[in-house]
């Protein structure tokens, strides 16, 4: 059943624009809507910076072949946790790339401690985009939730918006039948993926609208998601659809 859920081939760099790739990874078990646990597909994003280094968003499970492929295009310099749920493999990647900077999202240190997962973070993401990737990427802290915030990123050259869990878009055909109703209940089934219901209900809409307006001002053409089918066209239209719950 898990083979059905995978976006094959996994652990392979897949170009989606100039100097930007996605890498589909193996299945992980995570909390789903209303606290249920379910298998999730995983995906990381890799961007090559002007000086040749690599920026790695939400690193997936370590894989030697993937490491070799990355080493062939540049040194891994930045390992980014975009929200407090996406950090579990940071320690393994840091061991492989000890000179890389590990970037913490809000609340991730506390969650890692509570889960008894040791991760040494070197720096914190904040409202200002770090000089290290400012020329290639913008970032924004999507605020308004009482339980979790997420950093979103925009890759200039490819006009790609990189999200993590703010939109999930699971294809029903890739889900075990027993989980399709959970995805439908949570509002995260393709083609109408959106923020999961349990997280969506925690937002102050007025604050979230400000974040959405800033994202739309980037005029993204495609949207990369950590879970489910990405939107590789009509990015602005998909954003407005997915966030209509803020109306």
Q: What is the pLDDT of residues 205-238, one digit of tens each?
A: 999 999 999 999 999 999 999 999 999 999 999 9
Structure tokens at 217: 């001002």
Q: Where are the domains of the chain?
A: 2-246
> Rounded distance, CA 206 to CA 143, Å?
10
* Start-to-end Cα distance in the chain: 37
Question: What pLDDT does 29 receive?
Answer: 77
pLDDT of residue 177: 84
Alpha helix (H) residue ranges in the chain: 2-5, 64-73, 90-96, 108-114, 177-186, 197-200, 205-216, 235-242
**Cα gap 166→156, rounded to integer Å:** 20
Other C-beta atoms lying within 10 Å of the C-beta of residue 88: 20
102: exposed, middle or buried (C-beta count within 10 Å: 0-12, 13-18, 19+)?
buried
Instruction: Name the pTM for this structure.
Output: 0.95
| Beta-strand pair 101-104/123-124 | parallel
- Going 84 to 86 to 92 to 94, the CA torsion angle's sign is negative
Per-residue pLDDT tens for 33-51?
Answer: 445 567 889 999 999 999 9
pLDDT < 70: residue spans in the chain: 1-4, 30-37
One CATH from 3.40.50.1000, 3.90.1330.10, 3.60.9.10, 3.60.15.10 for 2-246? 3.60.15.10
CB 162 within 8 A of CB 224: yes
pLDDT at 5: 82
């Amino acid at each position: 059943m898990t083979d059905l859920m995978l976006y094959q081939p996994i652990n392979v760099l897949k170009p989606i624009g100039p100097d930007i790739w996605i890498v589909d990874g193996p299945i992980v078990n995570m909390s789903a809507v209303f606290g249920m646990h379910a298998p999730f597909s995983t995906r990381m994003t890799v961007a090559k910076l002007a000086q040749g280094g690599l920026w790695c968003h939400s690193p997936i499970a370590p894989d030697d072949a993937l490491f070799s492929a990355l080493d062939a295009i540049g040194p891994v310099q930045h390992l980014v946790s975009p929200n407090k749920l996406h950090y579990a493999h940071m320690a393994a990647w840091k061991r492989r790339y000890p000179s890389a900077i590990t970037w913490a999202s809000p609340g991730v240190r506390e969650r890692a401690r509570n889960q008894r997962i040791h991760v040494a973070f070197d720096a914190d993401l904040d409202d200002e985009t770090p000089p290290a990737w400012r020329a290639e990427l913008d970032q924004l802290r999507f605020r308004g939730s009482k339980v979790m915030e997420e950093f979103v990123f925009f890759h200039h050259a490819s006009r790609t918006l990189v999200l993590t869990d703010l939109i999930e878009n699971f294809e029903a055909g890739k889900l075990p039948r027993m989980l399709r109703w959970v995805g439908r209940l949570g509002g995260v089934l393709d083609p109408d993926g959106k923020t999961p219901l349990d997280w969506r209900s925690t937002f102050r809409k007025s604050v979230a609208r400000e974040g959405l307006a800033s994202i739309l001002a980037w005029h993204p053409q495609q949207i990369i998601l950590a879970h489910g089918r990405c939107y590789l066209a009509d990015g602005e239209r998909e954003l407005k659809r997915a966030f209509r719950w803020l109306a």
